Amino acid sequence: MALWISRRAFRSWNGAFSSALGFSSGLSCQRAVRHSVFSVELSALQKNELLIAACRGFSTSILTPGSCEDAFPSDLLSRKRVFPPERTVGLCQDLVIPVTNFSNEDKGLMVLAGDVFDVPIRKDIVHRVVRWQLAKRQQGTHSTKTISEVSGTGRKPWRQKGTGRARHGTLRGPQFRGGATMHGPKPRSHAIKLNKKVRRLGLKIALSARAAEGKLMVFEDLEIPSHKTKNIVSYYNLMVDTKKLLLVDGDAINEKLKLATQNIHYVNVLPSIGLNVYSILLHDTLVMSRDAVNRIVERMHTPINR
């Protein structure tokens, strides 16, 4: 706790301290002369910058838990609480996060790698990864029939001249009912190309955003006592400011957890290999097991095959 001493209190305490030194009977002649000179100089400079510098020097003093508070008068100490500065996001610093479980038991601490959970937030990278992900999952099975694929006769409907009607060579053209579709969609892939390092960076940014918001939780494991849905619902009700919850396990999903969450639309479960940017953005709270965190960090640190 920092010590803050006002200018008036410092003057009164300094005067009392100087008078006590002046009237002390145990001082030698040389010390008395030095003290008198120091008192005159100090009294002449009390209104100058020397006093301000002295006050600043006392104001930065810190009492440690092992120090004695009797070293300074209690009426000169301030009990004002000093708040630490907020953490700056994106410095790639390792994060220490508590580990718990569904029963809210203390399971120790875990260090999250800074190059995975504390990277600078870039919305443009997230946008590119989401576009790539949504485009790649399109089926692309849309199909229309051309004039050669439409069923019907190839006979000329009427003669070229003499009828007064427009000339036509087939009834399967796009201007007739039941005819072909010109320039219509055909089965194709909608996937776009995106570099692997950009995809990997997008996942790091999504994880860093949840960690910066305080919406990333680490569990020792995702074991639940039974497959009843009320176990997940009771835990969800204890969470504050949460709308959708994403549970990420390391390996294959536990059968009890899968049955307990399949009837809840606001709780979803994924293995670590299936964790993606779009799923993280759809859920405002992310709960990962310790094994899932280790697997994700290992995957992010694996060199990219070129």
The DSSP H or E segment spanning 243 is: none
The pTM is what?
Answer: 0.68
Distance separating alpha carbons of residues 206 and 165, to the nearest angstrom: 65
- Among candidate residues 157, 156, 147, the one with its CA nearest the CA of residue 178: 147
Q: Is the dihedral of CA 20, 22, 24, 30 positive or negative?
A: positive
- Six token digits for residue 116: 């995975």
- Mapped onto helix, strand or coil, the DSSP state of residue 131 is helix
Helices 29-44 and 7-22 sit at what angle, rounded to 10 degrees? 160
Q: Return per-residue pLDDT of the chain as tens, 306 residues.
A: 344 445 555 555 555 545 444 444 443 444 443 444 444 444 444 445 544 444 444 434 444 444 454 555 555 555 555 445 567 888 889 999 999 999 889 999 999 999 999 999 999 999 999 999 999 999 999 999 999 999 998 899 999 999 999 999 999 999 999 999 999 999 999 999 999 999 999 999 999 999 999 999 999 999 999 999 999 999 999 888 899 999 999 988 989 999 999 999 999 999 999 999 999 999 999 999 999 999 999 999 999 887
Distance separating alpha carbons of residues 303 and 291, to the nearest angstrom: 20
Residues 6+ apart with CB under 8 A from 82: 1, 2
